[in-house]
Amino acid sequence: MTIWRLILREITHRKIGFALGLLSVCIAVATLAGAMTLLRAHDLRTDQIVAAKEAETQREMAKMEDDYRKIMKDLGFNVLILPKDQNLADLYADDFASKYMPEEYVDRLAKSDIVTIQHLLPSLQQKARWPEQGDRTVIVIGTRGEVPYAQRTAKSPILEAVRPGTIVLGYELHRGAKVKEGDTIALMGRQFKVAKCHGERGNKDDITAWISLREAQEIFRRPGQINGILALECVCAADSLEKVRADIATILPDTQVIEFASQVIARAEARRRAAEAARAAIESEKRQRAKLRSEREAFAAVLVPIALVGCMAWIGLSTFGNVRDRRAEIGVLRALGVRSNQILAVFLGKAAVIGIAGGIAGCAAGFFAGTAWGDVGDIPSLFQPGLVVASVGLAPILALIAAWLPALLASQQDPAIVLREE
C-alpha cells in the first residue's frame, strides 16, 4: 500500500468531488488556452487579411496606373533637347531628328547642377527600312535608359534601359513579324532577343523598335552620337519652360529645347500616389486589427485571471471540505503510524492529480474552442507548444498552492480528538 494508491482509491470513491475539481481546473485552463489561441488566430488572420489586401491593392494599382497614363497622357510637359541645327519642320514630318550631337552632352548635363530637370534619357533615333521584314518602315530608337545625376542621390529610373542584344517591339512590328517575347529576330543583319512586345498604342510607338544605344550607334554608324535627350520635368509649373531652356542653354550652348508629351512623369506620379493610397489603406486595416486585438486582449486579461482565481478558490474550498470529511480517516492513519508530512502528501497529491488532468483536458478544450472560433483555416499553425507547457505546468502549481493550507491543516490535525469521540 502506498500513499499514491490511497489517493487514487479515494479519487475513485469520491468521483463527483474529483470531477468538479477537474472541471474547475479544466475551465480555467481552457479559458487561458482558448484566449491565447484566439489571440494567435487573430494575428494569423490579420496577416492573411493584410496580405490579401496588399495583393488586391497591387492589382488595383496596376490598373490605376494605366488609367492615369491614359488620362495624363497629354497633360503637363517634358522637354526634348535637340541639336541646334535640327530643322523642327523636318523633325515633325519625319518623326525623328536628322542632326546629331555628341553623346557626351548628356553626361555634361548629368554632371551639372541643373535642378529643373529630373530625368535624362539620351536616344539615337532613325527611321529606316527593315530589310528582314520586307523593307517595312521602322523607327529604331537606341536608348541607354536614364542617366543618373552625379549630384543627386539615385532614384529608381522611370524607364528601364534596353539591354544589349535585346529588342522591344511596338505592336505593328511584333504582330507583322509574328514574334513573341523570348523569340529571336534579325534587324539589319544583327540578331536580337525580343525582350518585350508592347500593346497597341495607336501612335508611332506601334512601328518603333527599341534597342540599346550602343547597338543603334553601331547599326547606323554613328559612334558616340545621339540626336535627342529627353528631359523629363517633374516640377512642371506651366511657366517654367523658359527657365528650363535658359538653364540648358548655359550648359549646352548649341542645342535647342522643345516641349514633349509628359506621360512618363504622369505615370511615375500616378504610381507614387497609388502606392501611397494603398499604403494608407493597409495601414488603416492594420490599425483596425490592432484595435480589435487590444480589445480582445483586454477582455482576456479580465476573464483569464477571474477563471484562474475562481478555480483556485474552488480547489481550496473543496480540499477544505475533503479534509473535514476525512477527519476520522486522518486520525486513524496517524494511529497506524503514518507521519504528518505523509498526510500532507495525501492532499497535495490529490490536488496535483486534479491539476495535471484538468490542465491537459483544459488545454485541449481551449485549443479546440480557440480554433473553432479563430476562423483560421490552418489549424496546426495555431498550435503553440509553449502554451501547452505553460498551462499543463501552471495548473498543478496553482492547484497545489490552493490546496496547501487545507492540506497543512490536515497534517497538523490532532488525531486524539477524533479517536476519543466515541
Partner 1 sequence: MSDPVLQIQNLKKTYAGPSGAVGAVADISLSVAGGEFIAIHGPSGCGKSTLLLASGGLLAPDSGTVSVAGKDLYAMSGDERARHRAARIGFVFQQFHLIPYLDVLDNVVAPTMALPIADGKGKAHELISRFGLDQRIHHVPAALSTGERQRVALARALLHDPPLLLADEPTGNLDEANGEAVLAYLAEFAAAGGAVLLVTHDPKAARHASRTVLMRDGRISKT
Answer yes or no whether residue 221 interacts with ligand ATP by CB under 6 A.
Answer: no
What is the rounded distance in angstroms from the CA atom of residue 318 to the CA atom of residue 191? Answer: 90
Q: Of these, 52, 150, 186, 419, which contacts partner 1 (CB under 8 A)?
A: 419
- Estimate the crossing angle of helix 3-13 against helix 340-374, to 10 degrees: 60
Answer yes or no whether residue 19 interacts with partner 1 by CB under 8 A.
Answer: no
Nearest CA among 84, 79, 154, 95 for reference residue 127: 95
Are 293 and 188 in contact by the 8 Å Cβ rule? The answer is no
Answer yes or no whether residue 407 interacts with partner 1 by CB under 8 A.
Answer: no
Answer yes or no whether residue 415 interacts with partner 1 by CB under 8 A.
Answer: yes
Answer yes or no whether residue 3 interacts with partner 1 by CB under 8 A.
Answer: yes
Q: Which of residues 381-420 bind ligand ATP (CB under 6 A)?
A: 420
| Cell reading at 165 | 542584344
Answer yes or no whether residue 337 interacts with partner 1 by CB under 8 A.
Answer: yes
| Cell reading at 140 | 529604331
What is the rounded distance in angstroms from the CA atom of residue 130 to the CA atom of residue 323? Answer: 104
Query: Which of residues 298 and 328 has its CB atom nearest to partner 1 in the complex?
Result: 328
What is the rounded distance in angstroms from the CA atom of residue 190 to the CA atom of residue 140? Answer: 13
β-partners of residue 232 are: 119
Q: How far does the chain reach from its first CA to its final CA, in angstroms?
A: 28
Are 251 and 109 in contact by the 8 Å Cβ rule? The answer is yes
Residue 331 near which of ligand ATP, partner 1, none (CB within 5-8 Å, type-dependent): partner 1
**Other CB atoms within 10 A of residue 160 CB:** 13
- From residue 340 to residue 379, the character string flagging contacts with ligand ATP as x (rule: CB under 6 A) and all else as - is ----------------------------------------
Answer yes or no whether residue 421 interacts with ligand ATP by CB under 6 A.
Answer: no
Q: Of these, 40, 174, 334, 350, which contacts partner 1 (CB under 8 A)?
A: 334
Answer yes or no whether residue 6 interacts with partner 1 by CB under 8 A.
Answer: yes
Query: Which of residues 269 and 329 has its CB atom nearest to partner 1 in the complex?
Result: 329
Smallest distance, Å, CB 326 to ligand ATP? 20
Answer yes or no whether residue 339 interacts with partner 1 by CB under 8 A.
Answer: yes
Half-sphere exposure of 159 (CA within 13 A, CB side): 24
Length of the chain as a residue count: 422
Answer yes or no whether residue 422 interacts with ligand ATP by CB under 6 A.
Answer: yes
Half-sphere exposure of 122 (CA within 13 A, CB side): 23
Smallest distance, Å, CB 338 to partner 1? 5
Answer yes or no whether residue 335 interacts with partner 1 by CB under 8 A.
Answer: yes
Indicate the pairing of strand 184-187 with strand 228-232: unpaired
Residue 108 near which of partner 1, ligand ATP, none (CB within 5-8 Å, type-dependent): none
| Binding residues for ligand ATP, total number by CB under 6 A | 2
Answer yes or no whether residue 221 interacts with partner 1 by CB under 8 A.
Answer: no
What residues make contact with ligand ATP under the rule CB under 6 A?
Answer: 420, 422
